[in-house]
Amino acid sequence: MGYGPKKLVISFSGHNLTHFGGLWLVQKFLRHLNLRHRLQRAVPFVQRNNHYSASEMFLALIYPIILGLGRLESTQLLRRNGTFQYLTGLSAYPDPTALRRFLTRIPVKVLHRLRLFHRTLSTEMACFPHGPTTIIFDLDSTVLTVYGKLEGAKRGYNPFKKGRASYHPMVCFEGISKDYWEGEFREGNAHAGQGALKLLQTCFARIPQTVRSVRIRADVGFYDHKTIEWLEGKKAGYVIVAKITCPIQHLLGGLRFRKKGTLAFAEFSYQPIGWKKPGRFIVVRKPVAELASPQMTLFALDKYTYHVYVTNLSMKPVNIWRFYNGRAAIELIIKELKYDYFLTRIPTHSFLANEIYFHLLMLTYNLINWFKRFCLPPDFQTKTLKTIRAQLIFVPAELIKSQNRPTLKLPEQIAQRHVFKTILKNLQKLKLKN
């Protein structure tokens, strides 16, 4: 029985090979966005070494995030991949030290320009091909544990590594499109809702004129009467997890619950100290056996756990609970950001540089989300970046010249040939404003 070829000759003569052949599809979408030239116009930055323009350096940081290289040191392999450089339109690729120096030299005014560019582009994409009539803002915060002495990394709430220094960014996603809408990169000792009102004000400032209904979903970290009063003034709907204080605990004992399967629902009106008027509070009672995880326990009494939400929506309690559960998508997005986009890999010791990288990473997330929405077939709309890499981007390819015309040769037996054709067809129909 054979175990493979007895005589195998190894030859280092392959030219223009890459295992990122599918990246060409993403690049064609970015060209439709005119991303490189728009970055160049909107985020000018004169460098000492002008071998690479600022827009080229930004793209040189975006592509490794898409490819899942994780650390800047891993980008070294892209310097030796001429086909990757050809497909992305980069004449060369900077070394990891140059990328890190670029991040640390960017002044704060350039960060502001980058964020303004991202907001403008996000609003345009949210309104393409027509503006939305309803927007749902899902707010959350997450902990990024760090190792070593990094500027701004401080001890605070860290359920994963207690006592370890961290960063504590706060983010807002649009619950229907799953687009990243706004966020802040914060020091590790910031509490969950710190700066929430300012974040919401920024989010509301760029709501398209076509929107008629705005709703907010947030966890207990955003339970604050100032935030709630501001939302009331904006006539925005909200469902926010309430803190179960002693007065609320006493109220729970006298409520009449209506059962719905294994769950039971009740509601009450209550005006906490400092509030200008009473709020509507919804209670969901679950048997202890139905508890999904210890982190979900807000209050336990006898054999039940209680979850309390404050809301100004007029829906039935069970529908309030169902609406809030839609916020679970943001937890999956944050998990994807950490493990597929490598949000947890902090690139420098500088807080400002890490903040810039955070916003570049969130821009990359939106670029991939738009690519999925406008180019991919329906069965790929919910795929994670990890799956898109495995099935579409990580494809072996060879760049050749046939009749003096560059040709990208892909495997004959590629499994997703129909997806490639669908993407190219959708790109032809895509008419974006630049």
Q: Round to whole Å and give the CA distance between 287 and 309.
A: 18
Prediction pTM value: 0.93
Distances (CA, A) of 424 to 82, 145, 429: 23, 40, 9
H or E segment to which residue 138 belongs:
strand 134-141
Average pLDDT, the chain: 90
Pinpoint the alpha helices (H) of 75-139: 82-88, 96-105, 108-126
pLDDT confidence bin for 297, thresholds 50/70/90: very low
CA 66 to chain centre: 13
Q: Using only the alpha carbons of the chain, give its radius of gyration.
A: 25
Bigger pLDDT: 220 vs 15: 220
CA 288 to chain centre: 33
pLDDT of residue 248: 92
Looking at residue 432, its pLDDT comes to: 78
Percent of the chain with pLDDT over 90: 71
Helix (H), strand (E) at residue 212 = none
Question: What does the alpha-carbon distance between residue 140 and residue 220 come to, in Å, rounded to a whole number?
Answer: 10
Distances (CA, A) of 109 to 39, 43, 148, 161: 15, 9, 28, 34
Residues 142-193: tens digit of each pLDDT:
999 998 889 998 988 887 788 889 999 999 999 999 999 999 999 999 987 8
Tell me the CA distances in angstroms from 267 to 61, 227, 251, 271, 318, one per residue in order.
50, 22, 10, 13, 10
| pLDDT value of residue 298 | 56
pLDDT at 433 over 90: no
The terminus-to-terminus CA distance of the chain in angstroms comes to: 62
Give the whole-number percent of the chain exceeding pLDDT 70.
Answer: 93
CB 180 within 8 A of CB 137: no
- Is the separation of the CB atoms in 364 and 336 below 8 Å? no
Residue 323, pLDDT > 90, answer yes
Structure-derived torsion over alpha carbons of residues 88, 91, 95, 99, reported in degrees to the nearest 10: -60
Tell me: pLDDT of 270 over 60.
yes
